[in-house]
């Protein structure tokens, strides 16, 4: 049986973009959220081979260190023509400086190098795995996926990471062109379109909604 969440929560991320999105998602539920960075919690080594495993590593480490429930996300861009890359290594493609302009350029260069130049050859998906961990070891895990394609050149200045090069199926705007309210907020305020919003909808139904 799913466990309901209330009170204070650690958002187990040091990524300001993810922190903002998670805070926006949690805001309607009256959850007091504090980031792992604000608590000076160390970043655990992400040794998992899946998004779900890495989200679990981060959530469990934060819950244990803070003695509070912790909420972690692991997400990335999965490109079919690149055999699933960058995948769980999406952040690492940005290098130590987290330069995602460079990372998006590398995705485009590798797609071009393997002859993937048409939209049908550039299919991809964003995947988000969310994990809620409690200090006693209880876990709740959820996953959201958005199908789309990689576009070049990148478009838009909203969001972060690979948002500007990802065009979701059925839309004419990249994630980088969509305002955060449209992409992340749940209906009726927004579309709840992003991979993280889709995973969060499952989490909220299990652990937050009355």
Residues with Cβ within 8 Å of residue 125, at least 6 apart in sequence: 77, 78, 145, 146, 147, 148, 195
Sign of the alpha-carbon dihedral angle for 194, 195, 200, 206: positive
- Strand ranges for 57-138 from DSSP E: 70-79, 123-133
In the sheet that holds 8-11, the strands lie side by side as 32-35, 8-11, 70-79, 123-133, 139-150, 166-168
Exactly one of 73, 74, 108, 163 is catalytic; which is it?
Answer: 74
Neighbours of 17 (CB within 10 A): 15
Query: Does 74 qualify as catalytic in the annotation?
Result: yes
Cα–Cα distance, 159 to 26 (Å, whole number): 17
Residue 139, SS3 per DSSP:
strand
Residues serving a catalytic function are 74
């Amino acid at each position: 049986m799913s466990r309901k969440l209330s009170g204070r929560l650690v958002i187990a991320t040091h990524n300001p973009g993810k922190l903002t999105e998670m805070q926006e998602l949690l805001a309607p539920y009256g959850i007091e959220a504090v980031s792992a960075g604000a608590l000076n919690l160390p970043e655990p080594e992400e040794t998992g081979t899946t998004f779900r495993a890495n989200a679990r590593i981060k959530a469990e480490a934060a819950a244990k260190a803070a003695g509070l429930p912790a909420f972690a996300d692991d997400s990335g861009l999965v490109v079919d023509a690149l055999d699933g890359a960058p995948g769980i290594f999406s952040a690492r493609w940005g290098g130590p400086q987290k330069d995602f302009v460079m990372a998006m350029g590398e995705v485009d260069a590798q797609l071009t190098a393997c002859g993937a130049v048409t939209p049908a050859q550039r299919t991809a998906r964003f995947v988000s795995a969310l994990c809620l961990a409690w200090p006693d070891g209880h876990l709740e895990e959820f996953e959201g996926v958005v199908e789309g394609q990689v576009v070049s050149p990148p478009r838009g200045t909203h969001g972060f990471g690979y948002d500007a090069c990802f065009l979701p199926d059925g839309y004419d705007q990249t994630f980088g062109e969509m305002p955060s309210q449209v992409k992340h907020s749940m209906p009726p305020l927004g579309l709840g379109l992003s991979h993280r919003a889709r995973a969060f909808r499952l989490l909220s139904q299990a652990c937050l909604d009355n």
